[in-house]
Amino acid sequence: MLANMRSLPLWIMFSGFFFINCGANMVIPFFGIYLTKYMHLSPAQAGMVLTVTVGTPRAMALFGGSVADRFGIRRSMLCGLGILIFSALGYAFSQSLWAFVLNAFITGVGYSLFTPAGKAAVAAMTAEESRVLAFSLRNMAVNIGAAAGPVVGMLITVEALRTTFLLTSFVYFAFLLLVWLFLRIERGGRDSPSASVSFAVIKNLVRVFNDKRLLVFSVLIIAFYIMLAQFSLVLPLFAADRFAAQSEIGMLFTGNALLMIAAQYPPLAVFSRYFTAAHIAVIGVILTAAGIGSAAFAGQFAYLVSVTLVIFTIGQSLIMPSIDTVVADLAPDGLAASYQGFAGLAAAVGGILGNTIGGALYGWAKNHEWISHVWGLYFAAGLFCCLLYAVLQRTVNRREERGSG
């Protein structure tokens, strides 16, 4: 039975997303310093550990989602949380490069099992008309955790980061107990392999890649994560090059997190009355692209915080829950986690393209003194992706109409 928005299991999920992200962000901002200064790894070795940490869950998201559909959403979440507990304890007692790399990989496996299943659980516990708001609250919990984690981490000195890992493992264990005690996903009658899906994992993957509607929507997912890469990589470089604002760059990320918390729910509550989740996603991409493009008019760093940051974050607050909602709505029964895993894979593609092409384009513009004009290209890229999505979606709709006729 679908739960309403006031149900205890749903709010346990929201609190769990908060604690998971709070626990992770207690460590992430200080991890590189810990590895280089206290574990005596080189910057390149620390980069390797961080790359494995970030890359593994993205690369394995589709596989993790398929496992959840095959063996049960609840089982996948419990397994993922158990692995995260083990890896956090492993980090606390690691002393060598390869021990950290191994734990980074194990952590990625844990997240790849937990994250798609967690999103599928939210979708399973909410009615379709409430889904966009449910995912909005989920993202709000994630952002509050991301904002609170570094504050808690600062209370623990970097040299005592081992204590933070132990605290993180306790947080994961507490959430595991809550999932085990209270969460019951009723998908097809019961949370079991036979009820989840009758296909093997490999057949799930084939079916996901054969869904033309999902493939078309992935254009918007990729477009957003390309824009997000410009916000995370290119905008700070521009702030440092143009305004010598190295010490103030943190304001962009702090402001983004705080505004995401404040603006996550109200705009969606309004937009969802008049637009479908897919249309809201298009609006979100346009706004994030416009936010990045607005940097062309920056005359001082304060402009980036007051204009670029605000426009970008409003778009981000619209598109992130809309992506989860559209993917959940597209997923047939028994493939919800696989579809969320595919969305994670599309996000990884967007991130890779955004960081490589976007960074290279900025470097070229800087060398050719064209830096003030390159922002228009980023904006045009966002608009092009929206237009491409509209054309492809219209083509798919026509083919489906002909097939049904």
Angle between helices 131-154 and 265-274 (to 10 degrees): 170
Of the pLDDT bands very low, low, confident and very high (cuts 50, 70, 90), residue 5 is: low
- CA nearest neighbour of 312 among 224, 217, 374, 381: 224
Contact call for residues 156 and 163 (beta carbons, < 8 A): yes
> Which residue carries 């749903």 as its tokens?
10
User: What count of residues does the chain have?
Assistant: 405
pLDDT the model gives residue 157: 62
CA-angle at 106, arms to 102 and 107, nearest 5°: 115
Angle between helices 43-59 and 8-33 (to 10 degrees): 160
Given a cut of 50, whether residue 1 has pLDDT beyond it is no
Contact call for residues 18 and 69 (beta carbons, < 8 A): no
| Averaged pLDDT score across all residues of the chain | 83
What is the pTM (predicted TM-score) of this model? 0.75
pLDDT the model gives residue 194: 46
Contact call for residues 234 and 358 (beta carbons, < 8 A): yes
Which is more confident, 287 or 64? 287
Which is more confident, 44 or 274? 274
Distance between start and end Cα atoms, the chain: 34
Sign, CA dihedral 169-45-251-366, equals: negative
Determine the longest span between alpha carbons in the chain, in angstroms.
Answer: 68
User: Any idea which of 10-14, 193-197, 334-338 has the lowest mean pLDDT?
Assistant: 193-197
Secondary structure of the chain in the HEC alphabet? CCCCCCCHHHHHHHHHHHHHHHHHHHHHHHHHHHHHHHCCCCHHHHHHHHHHHHHHHHHCHHHHHHHHHHHCHHHHHHHHHHHHHHHHHHHHHCCCHHHHHHHHHHHHHHHHHHHHHHHHHHHHCCCHHHHHHHHHHHHHHHHHHHHHHHHHHHCCCHHHHHHHHHHHHHHHHHHHHHHHHHCCCCCCCCCCHHHHCCCCHHHHHHHHHCCHHHHHHHHHHHHHHHHHHHHHHHHHHHHHHHHCCHHHCHHHHHHHHHHHHHHCHHHHHHHHHHCCHHHHHHHHHHHHHHHHHHHHHCCCHHHHHHHHHHHHHHHHHHHHHHHHHHHHHHCCCCCHHHHHHHHHHHHHHHHHHHHHHHHHHHHHHHHCCCCCCHHHHHHHHHHHHHHHHHHHHHHHHHHHHHHHC
Which is more confident, 306 or 198? 306
Which is more confident, 153 or 393? 393
